[in-house]
Amino acid sequence: MLNKFTRFTLLPALLSSAIRLSASTLSDTTATVTRNPIEISMSAASSLAVNAALTELLKRSVDRMRPNGEDSHSFPSRHTSWAFTASTILSNELYNHSPWWAVGAQAAASAVGFQRVATRHHYGSDVIAGAGLGIVSTQFSYWLCGKLLNHKAEKRLPVSDNDFRPSVAMTSEAVFNMGSDIATGFGVAIKGLLPLSPLWGLAMTLRGNTAPVVVNDTYLNPLNAYGASVGAAGHFRLPVKALAIETTLQAGMMRLLAVKGWPHSRYGFEGDIDTSLNWRLTPSFAFAATIGYRIVSTPSAVSAMTFGISSIAVF
């Protein structure tokens, strides 16, 4: 049924960097509270503990065979869950200093998820569940630690004016393919926006997708694809100054890698439309949640709903 809808060694060093940076003067003028090393350490440690507990509980409770037949603990992806926990910790602590911390951390976590599907260790839905689990468990732990350790501090969400400026976004997305032999997939994308007016501009996206091919309940191999698309972008500010709606309409080409036993074209046309809720946290960093529709020819048309999260560097 899931098919249908379907101890990083660098972490201690990176957390140490986060503690040293957060203890210093923040470079972003919109920050209102400087976090202390004890609160950072407690938030990070509790995030790791909560994530590990929930991930292992689900792994032992859900009996799902891996695509490679190795064992029946496929759901959710442990590696992806850990990776997105680490990514969210680093993003929470360091986005004030540079947006590239958050963009880079999400890119690394997304690469882990992509690799787990492409190498037949997991289905796309396993990776999507792991990513969601990592993000949610970390944000919950940060909220709880904030309540317990810093309950008297002024609680204000960071905000900055969400004007339309050039940006580069790193997106991790769930791809829910509909009505085909292609099951739920996982994708990564880098999207650039170049404003031509306060409301309109150009968009360009480089994208990679991986999705299992399942024919008559038999797993064949992942369909891996990469490509580029270009199009138009709109940016519509909301009454809350930190929020904006962004929408893009793009078209391009995809290179489809071979899947043994499932004939398809080497190249396919891609068209997609998506809408994002964009939240500008600092003058140079934003976060966005996106929903979209995509169609790719293989050569028969394959349509999909997409749901993504993005870390955005703003210039």
Nearest CA among 137, 136, 204, 208 for reference residue 172: 208
pTM assigned to the model = 0.85
3-state class (DSSP) for residue 19: helix
Nearest CA among 183, 216, 215 for reference residue 302: 183
pLDDT attached to residue 8: 37
The string of pLDDT tens digits covering residues 13-54 is 333 333 333 333 333 333 445 567 888 888 999 999 999 999
Q: Do the Cβ atoms of 139 and 276 come closer than 8 Å?
A: no
Q: What is the DSSP letter of 153?
A: S
pLDDT attached to residue 10: 37
Q: Amino acid identity, residue 236? A: F
State which residues of the chain have pLDDT below 50.
Answer: 1-32
pLDDT attached to residue 63: 87
pLDDT attached to residue 148: 82
DSSP E strand stretches across 104-242 = 167-178, 185-195, 200-215, 218-237
Contacts of 172 (CB under 8 A, 6+ apart): 106, 109, 110, 113, 131, 186, 187, 188, 308, 309, 310
CA–CA dist 294, 287 (Å, integer): 22
Helical packing angle, 37-61 and 78-94, nearest 10°: 160
Task: Give the tokens for residue 200.
Answer: 């309109």
pLDDT attached to residue 155: 55
Q: Amino acid identity, residue 33? A: V
pLDDT attached to residue 4: 42
pLDDT attached to residue 34: 59
pLDDT attached to residue 145: 87
pLDDT attached to residue 108: 96
pLDDT attached to residue 71: 85
pLDDT attached to residue 149: 77
